Amino acid sequence: MTQRQTISLTRLLADERGFDAVEIETWIAEGWVRPAGAPGAWTFAAIDVARLALIRDLRHEYGVNEEALPVILRLLDQLYDQRRQVRQLCQTLTRLAPPDLLAAMHAALRDAGAAAEEGLEPEQRA
Amino acid sequence: MAEDPYAILGVARDATASQIRRAFLKLAKSSHPDLNPNDPAAEARFKAINAAHALLSDPEQRARFDRGEIDASGQERPPPEPPFRRHAYRDYAEGPAGGRYRAGPVGEGDFDDILAELLRAQRQGAGPRPGRDRRYALTIPFSTAIQGGTQRLTLPEGGVLDVRIPPGMESGQTLRLRGKGEAGEPPGDALIEITVAPHPHYRRVGRDLYFDLPVSLAEAVLGARIEVPTIGGRVTLTIPPGADTGTTLRLRGKGVPGHGKEPAGDAYATLQIRLGPADPALAEFLRTRAAPPAFDPRAGMEDMA
């Protein structure tokens, strides 16, 4: 997950299977993938390559068409935004919160989780 | 990948190419790591499904596998691990790099919503918040401090508190009344700093009490049994004959009452002779007395001058 490393389109096509240069240019033009660089000299970070692979899977393995793809991508982006926030929040809490607060939160969340499985609000639990 | 690719995809060995594809798509949808981010096993399952599909969707490879020329993992070289990308998209998207594909407008703080929610909840007092302690000062009568009792405290914010005073309180001590402070969950405590009012007759030293006890000349000279009012009630005290001003008598156990492990203190009465109204007979006796004993009440005063 190194951020600084990037590869070129030529290198990408050599390393990864199932990519098509024209198709990748289309996805970039649509804004579905946003590599650094300029047309003809794209540099792909690891996340860009992973996203290209995701789009490739969705298009060719799952049969998702060009209309549905941006919808799915946007939903995924929102999902990952949320998960990234939760992760950051957890890291911040782990760093700053006193241990007894963390223990209390852990217990409260476990109770809430158990209540949710029973279909109850936490307050309803005797 | 040593498992049978037919078993992985859940198809018969004579399945048609379209049956294999349908089985693969069905499984892949429930296993794609990006569509199942909460399932840590999804990624491994997804790889196995892909490998099985790669083998069986290629008629030549499938035929060779069926003939036993290659095994499920053998000749079928697993797709070379891409040298650059080693993780599913999810692993990047959830990390700091994921900000590149943020769904919301760039620059909007990730935590604005969450923090706003927290601050709003705090302003509204939502959620249990502990009440703070409140401090009060209370002056109590000397006798209440010795004996204990109940003293009513009028609160600056309105209302009253009936404060139970344990026996033996001293100035500067603080009483804590649990839950009588600011409202909250849990409520705060009331901290009451006690001042003991001085008494016109009694002085307190530790758990002992000192006071001056006026006696008449006759009681001092002849001795007497007299009743003495003390803080704990009236007690009978025996004055020995020939007592003088300054004679101190101990009333055992009549100081600060015992409390917990503390034993009761004593009271000390220092006699003060009072002559009372002029007594002509006494004056005549002193004047005509033949041989009074030698006595200089000011002996030793020379040294002090």
A112 touches chain B (CB under 8 A): no
Give the least confident one: A76-90, B10-24, B34-48, B272-286.
Answer: B34-48
Contact A89 B114 (CB under 8 A): yes
pLDDT at A56: 92
pLDDT band at B107 (very low <50, low <70, confident <90, very high): very low
pLDDT (mean) for B45-59: 86
Q: Look at residue B1 in the predicted model and tell me its pLDDT.
A: 45
Q: Is A1 on the interface with B (CB under 8 A)?
A: yes
Spatial separation of the C-alpha atoms in residues B283 and B221, rounded to whole Å: 16
* pLDDT per position as a tens digit, B171-183: 999 999 888 888 8
B47 touches chain A (CB under 8 A): no
**Residue B301 gets which letter from DSSP?**
H
Q: Do A47 and B98 touch (CB under 8 A)?
A: yes
Does A70 touch chain B if contact means CB atoms closer than 8 Å?
A: no
Provide the percentage of residues in chain A whose pLDDT is more than 90: 26
Question: What's the mean pLDDT when you consider all of chain B?
Answer: 83
Is A46's CB within 8 Å of B84's CB? yes
Enumerate the residues of chain B whose CB falls inside 8 A of the CB of residue A63.
25
Out of A79-93, B70-84, B124-138, which region has the weakest mean confidence (pLDDT)?
A: B70-84
Instruction: Name which of A27, A34, A73, A76 to mutate to probe chain B: the one with the most chain B Cβ atoms within 10 A of its Cβ.
Output: A76
- C-alpha dist (Å) from residue B165 to B65, B137, B138, B142, B161: 94, 13, 11, 12, 12
Taking only residues 116 to 155 of chain B, the set having a beta carbon closer than 8 angstroms to any beta carbon of chain A reads none
B295 touches chain A (CB under 8 A): no
Residue type, B250: R
- Where b means 16+ CB within 10 Å and e means fewer, B105-140 reads eeeeebeeeeeeeeeeeeeeeeeeeebeebebebeb
**φ, ψ dihedrals at B38, nearest 5°:** -90, -5
Domains and their CATH numbers in chain B:
5-100 (1.10.287.110), 134-196 (2.60.260.20), 203-288 (2.60.260.20)
Nearest chain A residue to B89 by CA distance is: A50
CB of B240 within 8 Å of a chain A CB? The answer is: no
Residue B225: strand pairing partners: B238
Q: Quick one: pLDDT at residue B111?
A: 67
Distance from CA of B57 to the nearest CA of A (A): 12
Instruction: Label residue B222 by pLDDT band (50, 70, 90).
Output: very high
Assess contact for B225 and B237: CB atoms under 8 A.
yes
- By residue count, chain B amounts to 305
CB B109 within 8 A of CB A32: no
ipTM score here? 0.74
Residue with tokens 């004993």: B293
A3: pLDDT strictly greater than 50: no
Nearest to A45 by CA among B99, B109, B105: B99
Residue B106: predicted pLDDT: 46
| pLDDT for the residue numbered B121 | 67
Check if A88 contacts B (Cβ < 8 Å).
yes
Percent above pLDDT 70 for chain A: 89
CB-CB: which of A53, A57, A79 is closest to B85? A53
Please, which residues have CB within 8 angstroms of residue A72's CB and are 6 or more apart in sequence? A58, A64
**Average pLDDT for B233-251:** 92
**Separation CA B303–CA B298 (nearest Å):** 11
The most confident of A37-51, A89-103, B207-221, B248-262, by mean pLDDT: B207-221
Sketch out chain A's domains with CATH numbers.
6-97 (1.10.1660.10)
* B54 token code pair: 């790669």
Top-confidence range, B84-98, B272-286, B288-302:
B272-286
CA B233 to the chain's CA centroid? 41
